[in-house]
A and B are shown apart, each in its own frame.
Chain A
Amino acid sequence: MRGDRSLYILFFLGCALTGVLILYPAYYAVQLSFFDADSFISTPVWVGLENYKTVLADSEFWSALIRGIIFAGTAICLQILLGIGFALILDSAIPGKIILRGITVLPYLLPTVVVALIFQWMLDDHIGILTVLLENLGFEEAATWANSPFWSMVLVIFVSVWLWTPFVTVCFLAGLQSVPEEMYEAARVDGANAWQRFWHITLPQLRPVLLVVVLLRAIWMFNKFDIVWLLTGGGPMHGTEHLPILAYRKAFDAFDVGIGATISTISFLILTIAILLFFWRFPIDERK
């Protein structure tokens, strides 16, 4: 067809640029993981699988992996539970729905840096409003929680849940609109209560949405760097250091670029295997 040629040219140009921008860097990262490079300007030396041996033998790597799984797992579960709850409230017959929806989405708009600072301010050890509140509730040690690895992990999980629950809420709210009203009517006639209607109609109907949301959130939480780095920097005593932070520290603090790239590559491999297992266990298109 006339003019198709210019479209083809634009298309191939676009694809070529995408390749250069995204696939080449990813390929380069994998390649870097086979080299020993002690800075960004020195010439890398081929070391084969040496970096992988070093990383896999390092206990720092394994504890960072486990911390990452705890962080991501807990945060995802809470986000999903809270997100479903919010979506159900927003879907019920309450006045001012649109404004309420806007307010619940608000946290998602804020830059991570801003969110980290707001929570650090609210938890300031002298006059932070949350510190004072916690102290009044009987947690007298609240001001010293920043020194505790356990409470720091609680903090990064809590803030991640606050920041990213709106994503789950909005996806579920959209999904709820697609559940046919007749199904609820029929269930009501049969005498099902609210909980039974939720468990036997809403949840099965929303299964496809749920699967996609869990998958996306899992990927993003596992890769999350900024919120943890800004809130705790991986501390105290490495208490919140997960793989993205370990990779950053190796590459940009210790200038061990090869090791940093190796950690990134391994964590990406783990993620890829997890995604494939997920698709194998829960095929998303089974309804069609």
Chain B
Amino acid sequence: MKKTSTRIGIGIIVALMVTYSFFPVYWMLISGLREYESLFSSISLVPGPFSTASYTQLLELTDYPTWFLNSVVVATGTVLITLVLAIPISYAVTRLEIRFKGAIVGTMLYAYMFPPMLLAIPLYSIFVDIGISDTLLSLCISHTTISLPLGVWLLWGFFKQLPFDVEEAAMVDGCTRLKAFFYVVLPLSLPGIVTVAIFSFLLSWTDYTFALVMIGSDSLKTLPAGLDTISGWYELQWGELMAGSTLIALPLLVLFLFLSRYFIHGLASGALKG
């Protein structure tokens, strides 16, 4: 039996840990829902009085719906490009007789360490040259430069663990390599693929640096860049900005609620850049 004093001590430490981690998120949620006057007159830790005025103001005055759509398009595009490229590369590296395997995976890891500005400056310059600067496509491509090395690294570890006999048995039974891949390997490696998809999505959805460099037009901004732009507007107050923050964070919180298993697994395998 533990002593009561130890228990109380642990209880206090846990309470501090939870407050430290959760309070800023809580403050964001309730500030966006607070009535305008009370937001500035009192500092009460209890939520309310409630009002959705901040949300209606935000949606009326800004391009939030457009930015939301842009974010969805860019994030989905990034996830698709990443999966289409990362799956064959990492599968081939584990299964085929390829020279310089180590060098390929090593290069991927090295690329994962590039400073964002090292990539952003030349990429922007290249996009200007080929005429796709300031487009959603250019942002998708920029996000892929980070999510692809991550995807190859994670999936490489995953495919390596899958026993080779399963697909070999399928191939002995007359499947081609591609068929064996689609019917046997792919379903078995779904958890790994979901992890890569989640992290690519998260990376693209939360990115600010590349969005700042690549996108100039207001109508093409993604949510983080858009929120940063309006944070300087004098018509908008903290209530609206916290409402805007909540709208960006909410999809991620919901995603996390349902997929936390994959998320924690990916994080523990050294996944996310941040």
Contact = CB atoms under 8 A, between A and B. Distances in A.
Contacts of A1: 171, 177
A26 B122 contact: yes
A86 interface: yes
Given A7-B88, A8-B96, A2 B176 contact: yes
Given A22-B145, A29-B119, A121-B242, A7 B178 contact: yes
Interface in B101-129: 104, 107-108, 111, 113-119, 121-126, 128
Nearest to A247: B117
B60 to A, nearest CB: 20
Contacts of B80: none
Interface in A233-264: 244, 247-248, 251-252, 257, 260-261, 264
B208 A118 contact: no
Contacts of A41: 128
B255 to A, nearest CB: 8
A14 B17 contact: no
A101 B267 CA distance: 13
B121 A251 contact: yes
Contact of A3 (B108, B179, B241): B179
B54 interface: no
Contact of A105 (B10, B212, B224, B267): B267
Interface of B: 10, 13-14, 17-18, 20-22, 24-25, 27-28, 31, 40, 43, 85-86, 88-89, 91-93, 95-96, 98, 104, 107-108, 111, 113-119, 121-126, 128, 141, 144-145, 148-149, 152, 171, 176-181, 202, 205-206, 208-209, 212-213, 223-225, 227-228, 231, 238, 241-242, 245, 248-249, 252-253, 256, 260, 263-264, 267-268, 270, 272-274
Contacts of A122: 24, 27
A227 to B, nearest CB: 9
Contact of B119 (A22, A111, A124, A174): A22
Interface in A118-148: 118-119, 121-122, 124, 126-127, 129, 132
A222 B118 CA distance: 13
B115 A223 contact: yes
A271 interface: yes
Contacts of B272: 108, 167
A193 interface: no
Contacts of A100: 14, 17-18
Contact of B273 (A32, A110, A220): A220
B121 A171 contact: no
B205 A118 contact: no
A117 interface: yes
A4 interface: yes
B122 A112 contact: no
A21 B82 CA distance: 12
A121 B114 CA distance: 32
A26 B13 CA distance: 46
A230 B208 contact: yes
Interface string A186-227: 000000000000000000000000001100100110110110
Given A14-B88, A265-B118, A127 B40 contact: yes
Given A25-B119, A216-B270, A14 B89 contact: yes
B27 A118 contact: yes
B263 to A, nearest CB: 8
B270 to A, nearest CB: 6
Given A26-B119, A101-B264, A121-B241, A111 B88 contact: no
Given A10-B88, A113-B248, A114-B227, A129 B43 contact: yes
Contact of B10 (A10, A94, A219, A261): A94
A261 B252 contact: no
B256 A29 contact: no
A113 B40 contact: no
30 contacts: A1-B177, A4-B96, A7-B96, A22-B145, A23-B107, A24-B122, A26-B111, A28-B125, A40-B125, A103-B21, A104-B18, A107-B24, A107-B25, A109-B202, A111-B248, A111-B249, A122-B27, A164-B274, A167-B274, A170-B264, A170-B267, A174-B268, A213-B270, A223-B117, A225-B117, A248-B117, A248-B213, A265-B118, A267-B118, A268-B115
Contacts of B242: 117-118, 121
Nearest to B179: A3
Nearest to A109: B252
Contacts of B111: 18, 22-23, 26
